[in-house]
Amino acid sequence: MRGRRLVSGAVCAAAIVASCSQGGTVDGTDPAPGSPLLGDSSGSHAEAHAAAGVPLTQTPEYLASNTPCPAELPELGAVPLSQAAPGRSVQLTPFVELADATVMVFDNAGADGGGYVGDRSGRIWRFEPNPADRTSTGRAGSGLGAAIGAAPIADFSSDTAAEHDQGLVGMTLGPTGRLWINRTNSRGTSVLTVLTPNADHTRRQGGHVDMLEVKQTNAQHNGGDLLFDQNRLLYVSFGDGGGQGDPRHHGQNRATPLGAVLRFAVAGDDGTDLGQTDPDEWRLVPAPGNPDLGPDSDPNIWAYGVRNPYRMSIDQATGTLWIADVGQQCMEEITVLGLDENGANLGWNAYEGSRRFFGDALSTHRPPDLEYRHGRGLCAVIGGHVYRGEELPWLAGRYVFADLCGGDIYAASVQAGAQPDDVWHLGIRTNRPVGFAVDPAGELYVIDMETGAWRITDGSSADRAGAGDGTASDGSAENQPDE
């Protein structure tokens, strides 16, 4: 079954070359019945340049994107774990084998290790722990920790584009146990879909409901993560829509969902508890406490000024939102937002991290809490969770993240408002890290697009003698998500 799709109250940007109507398409015509879009990103500086006969390779944004990086930008400065914490080590234990894996989520209840894993083409499988591969503590041990079903429980591959930053890029479990996914359909539009697994998790129950559509300008910088906080509010991230230097200036345009983190409340039409109603009767509304960003602004925006916030997470201990935003040619950034920072402007494209990038300076700019320059195998940050498990107590409170190009995995002690004093190189890597997952016990897993999911385990445990050597596989990383 397919449900209604949300029509935004946001109107088109002020600097518009072609005319458009609220909720309409790029050329101003009405959308097809039953398929309105959230917001409208038509009209831009890029179109203005094109109308003036300026080649895209000569626009000011493009030229700024190809300017050499200043020498004084901060380095990541990661210290080897053996030096930072003598006697401590971690390793990667194979967990789920799946080529093109992009997303993974565990059941909210229980610690049996069951959950769902999806690939870039839009297929989702159920996984269950391997009973023959358990340690004395009952947790997954060496070898393959979990096995996926013979067939996917849901398959959107016939209507999923998978170029550049497209595909199935986000997945989470909602408060009522239903799966929420963020994917790019065959038309290049981002779609938020809800589906219901059946009682034994072997297939989906009924059809699916498309709750939200966001029109994208191209296949780059689609962003795409989504998650629920402790108050059952839904956060969704979208990139600036692509193009070097944000030529459409979506990052600072508060009338478009592109270049922003949105926050919704999920409401039943009759006000009943969501667990007792069908998703076909749900609707997304601006969350209580969302900021008023001025006339014609999108009321769903919670924070803006982001380039490609490919991954987000919430630290359950503090309630803070961690945004890993993939940078342009010089900087990667991680920002930690408290719940009182609604309306934060993270600066793009006036800033890349704390570095001035393009146009006028901003009167309000929320700088990142951790940033590092490109080079030495670093090019695209992949977030990332704060570790709150029990197996590695010495890692507690540190934010574990990766960088796509080198594939290395790091842990940082991030203090809000200041560059961290130390970043640890954990001595483990995968070829193409594209995300992380956390199980009900707080243990972390890295998702590698070439091989599947790997659990981060104690490298000194004698009962893990058969586990990996700290490298998921050999080879070189490719640029996904797009830099």
Q: What is the number of structural domains in the chain?
A: 1
Is residue 31, in this structure, part of any structural domain at all?
no
* Rounded Cα–Cα distance for residues 263 and 290 (Å): 7
Q: Which two tokens stand for residue 154?
A: 């849901």
Prediction pTM value: 0.86
Is residue 19, in this structure, part of any structural domain at all?
no
Contacts (Cβ under 8 Å, ≥6 apart) of 211: 3, 5, 6, 180, 192, 193, 194, 279, 282, 283, 284
Phi/psi at 65 (nearest 5 deg)? -75, -15
Please name which of 255, 260, 254 lies closest in space to residue 240, comparing C-alpha atoms: 260
Is residue 263, in this structure, part of any structural domain at all?
yes
Is residue 35, in this structure, part of any structural domain at all?
no
Kind of pairing between the strands at 423-429 and 78-80 = parallel
Q: Give the CATH number of the domain where residue 139 resides.
A: 2.120.10.30
pLDDT at 228: 95
Q: Which two tokens stand for residue 17?
A: 């070359």
* Rounded Cα–Cα distance for residues 284 and 12 (Å): 20
Please name which of 211, 172, 207 lies closest in space to residue 191, comparing C-alpha atoms: 211
Contact (Cβ atoms closer than 8 angstroms) between residue 374 and residue 326: no
* Rounded Cα–Cα distance for residues 156 and 121 (Å): 7
- Return the SS3 of 157: helix
Is residue 208, in this structure, part of any structural domain at all?
yes
* Rounded Cα–Cα distance for residues 196 and 409 (Å): 34
Q: What is the total residue count of the chain? A: 483
Contact (Cβ atoms closer than 8 angstroms) between residue 394 and residue 370: no
Range of the domain at 101: 45-464
C-alpha pair distances (Å), 169 with each of 124, 205, 312, 338, 400: 12, 22, 12, 25, 19
Helix and strand numbers, DSSP H then E, in the chain? 3, 30
pLDDT at 371: 95
pLDDT at 275: 55
End-to-end CA distance of the chain: 37
Is residue 472, in this structure, part of any structural domain at all?
no
Which letter does DSSP use for residue 61 in this model?
A: H
* Rounded Cα–Cα distance for residues 325 and 332 (Å): 7
Tens place of pLDDT for every residue, the chain, 483 residues? 333 333 332 222 222 122 222 222 222 223 333 333 454 444 456 666 655 566 767 789 999 999 999 999 999 999 999 999 999 999 999 999 999 999 999 987 655 669 999 999 999 999 998 866 544 333 444 457 899 999 999 999 999 999 988 999 999 999 888 999 999 999 999 999 999 888 777 778 788 999 999 999 998 899 889 999 999 999 999 999 999 999 999 999 999 999 999 999 998 754 455 555 678 888 999 999 999 999 999 999 999 999 999 999 999 999 999 999 999 999 999 999 998 899 999 999 999 999 999 999 999 999 999 999 999 889 999 999 999 999 999 999 999 999 999 999 999 999 766 666 689 999 999 999 999 999 999 999 999 999 999 999 999 864 444 444 556 654 434 435 666
Contact (Cβ atoms closer than 8 angstroms) between residue 431 and residue 476: yes
Contact (Cβ atoms closer than 8 angstroms) between residue 323 and residue 334: yes
Contact (Cβ atoms closer than 8 angstroms) between residue 335 and residue 368: yes
Is residue 250, in this structure, part of any structural domain at all?
yes
pLDDT at 4: 36
State the amino acid at position 67 in one-letter form.
Answer: T
* Rounded Cα–Cα distance for residues 366 and 350 (Å): 12
* Rounded Cα–Cα distance for residues 258 and 217 (Å): 9
Taking the alpha carbons of 292, 307, 212, 43 in that order, is the dihedral positive or negative? positive
Is residue 470, in this structure, part of any structural domain at all?
no
Taking the alpha carbons of 13, 19, 21, 24 in that order, is the dihedral positive or negative? negative
Distance from the Cα of residue 360 to its chain's centroid: 28
- Return the SS3 of 82: helix
Contact (Cβ atoms closer than 8 angstroms) between residue 205 and residue 228: no
Neighbours of 2 (CB within 10 A): 12
Q: Which residue has the tokens 């560059």?
A: 419
Which letter does DSSP use for residue 307 in this model?
A: S
Q: Which helix (H) or strand (E) holds 293?
A: none
